[in-house]
Structure 1
Amino acid sequence: MQSPVASFRIPAPVGRRSVQLLVGLVLYAASMGLLVHSGLGNMPWDVLTQGISRHTGASFGTITVAISVLVLLCWIPLRQRPGVGTVANVLVIGVLVDPFLAALDQLPDPLPMAARVALAVSGIVLNALATGLYVGAQLGPGPRDGLMTGLVGRTGWPVAPVRTSIEVVVVAAGWALGGTVGFATLAYALLVGPLVHVFLPRLTVRSRQSEPVALVAAT
């Protein structure tokens, strides 16, 4: 007779989605580190994170977690519900981004411009791949994605202006606090959407009950 332990199996789709989510979040943290270390401009929310970090002395990862929690509080009036992926997004990225930055600090300083550009380009492509992985797992949006989709749902406004408005406010506030805005910030804004469109359809885990991923339109 087979034991209960031996007969227990994690359903394949759930197992794949969990692994895909974790891999995506690890790569997302790595992509953040690459862009920050390039010094050529950060992702919009990371501009704000870096600005606050420079004023408070708290680590980049600590501020990332703090901002994520504050954004999640904004979900309450928007009636957004977090998933396991939402919680994992906050914890995994917040915990790993500081070690990735510390590892990149071991590179020669200063880096040649060609190397800095390579870091920025690698960060943008890796971020798009990471987004396709964690969004495609369909285990819950990240805090910032949920804020955007929640506002779209409550206001009925198109996705593009809502996302753009949020990111303009965030970048402006971060730049005023000393966060780095530059070539990579603009390149990220222009390229990450099309790149996610390439990765996401190929990485989305389908099931009989699954609906098309809403963030395909958002990107």
Structure 2
Amino acid sequence: MLKDTVYKLIRLVLGLFICALGIVFSINANLGLAPWDVLHQGISNHVGITIGTASIIIGITIVLANVLLGENIGWGTIINILCIGTFMDLIIASKLVPSSNSILNGILMIIISMTLMGFGMAMYMGCGLGSGPRDGMMVALQKRTNKPVSIVRGSMEVGALTVGYLLGGKVGIGTVINAFVLGYFIKIVFRICKLDSSKIKHRFIVDDIKYIKSLSIKGNRELADVQDSISE
């Protein structure tokens, strides 16, 4: 049990690092960011914080909204928020990923970005420790509005893109590529990894709370039985 949990946590963190690396490739491609990263960059530029910190703040806000909407969250959701933003800042500060100075190099970097995002998502989602905050909000809004997932997710992306653009986030051909092509890359990578996201059974924080409560109740009952046997 412990060994399996440690394995999942290592896989989760590694997957999130790969996702963060993919995001930085997209940023340094200098052709425009994915919709949510446009928002993160816009907040970063407008408020004067790092783009990773902006990502963490938006993630926390979305998770709080998900809880209010009645959605369960997992430990992986919390780790997702904290790790991706932190990893992004560390990768950018280390200058591990070079900046592109041409359209051709930029497009190549975006392709690398989308590929890394696909493998990173496959690694962390396969752990079954909870989905990302935006996926959770998508599900919550779909339940509340009874609208198709495509409309709900599309509205979320357009909303993030619009606010990010108004705040000074960079929009360009890379934004269009990410918006229309990233999903196909993720689908291909999931097939390569033989991962069916619809069949993943996530373990939520509420499940662990119930488990701990059940152990506590069981322990109290066993203690009561021992005390009864002693008194007899």
TM-score by length of 1: 0.83
Contact 1:138 1:204 (C-alpha < 8 Å) held by counterparts? no
SS at match of 2:120: helix
Of the three residues 5, 10, 13, the one matched with 2:2 is 10
Q: How does 1:175-186 map to 2 (within 5 A)?
A: 175-186=165-176
- What is the CA–CA distance in structure 2 between the aligned matches of 1:193 and 1:103, rounded to whole Å? 29
Contact 1:86 1:143 (C-alpha < 8 Å) held by counterparts? yes
Q: CA deviation at 1:50?
A: 0.3
- What is the CA–CA distance in structure 2 between the aligned matches of 1:204 and 1:17, rounded to whole Å? 15
Count of equivalent residues:
201
- What is the CA–CA distance in structure 1 between the aligned matches of 2:144 and 2:170, rounded to whole Å? 32
What does the per-residue CA deviation read over 1:37-60, in whole Å, with 9 as the maximum and x for residues that have no partner? 111111111100101111111111
- What is the CA–CA distance in structure 1 between the aligned matches of 2:11 and 2:195, rounded to whole Å? 10
Greater shift, 109-118 or 73-82, is seen at 109-118
Contact 2:100 2:106 (C-alpha < 8 Å) held by counterparts? no
What does the per-residue CA deviation read over 1:126-181, in whole Å, with 9 as the maximum and x for residues that have no partner? 11221222122211011111111111122222111100000001101111111011
SS at match of 2:129: coil
Residue 43 of structure 2: aligned partner = 52
Contact 2:26 2:33 (C-alpha < 8 Å) held by counterparts? yes
Residue 143 of structure 1: aligned partner = 133
Of the three residues 68, 74, 78, the one matched with 1:77 is 68
Identity value in percent:
31
Residue 162 of structure 1: aligned partner = 152
Q: 1:15 to 1:117 in 2, by over 3 A?
A: same
Structure 1, gaps ≥5 residues long: 1-8, 215-219
Residue 3 of structure 1: aligned partner = none
Residue 119 of structure 1: aligned partner = 109
- What is the CA–CA distance in structure 2 between the aligned matches of 1:155 and 1:46, rounded to whole Å? 26
Q: CA deviation at 1:106?
A: 7.4
Q: Determine whether 1:212 maps to 2:199.
A: yes
Amino acid corresponding to residue 124 of structure 1 in structure 2: M
Contact 2:29 2:106 (C-alpha < 8 Å) held by counterparts? yes
Q: Determine whether 1:95 maps to 2:86.
A: yes
Of the three residues 131, 140, 145, the one matched with 2:121 is 131
Structure 2, gaps ≥5 residues long: 202-232
- What is the CA–CA distance in structure 2 between the aligned matches of 1:29 and 1:16, rounded to whole Å? 20
Amino acid corresponding to residue 56 of structure 2 in structure 1: V
Q: 1:37 to 1:26 in 2, by over 3 A?
A: same
TM-score by length of 2: 0.78
- What is the CA–CA distance in structure 2 between the aligned matches of 1:99 and 1:11, rounded to whole Å? 29
Contact 1:40 1:116 (C-alpha < 8 Å) held by counterparts? yes
Contact 2:40 2:51 (C-alpha < 8 Å) held by counterparts? yes
Q: CA deviation at 1:20?
A: 2.3
Q: CA deviation at 1:111?
A: 2.2
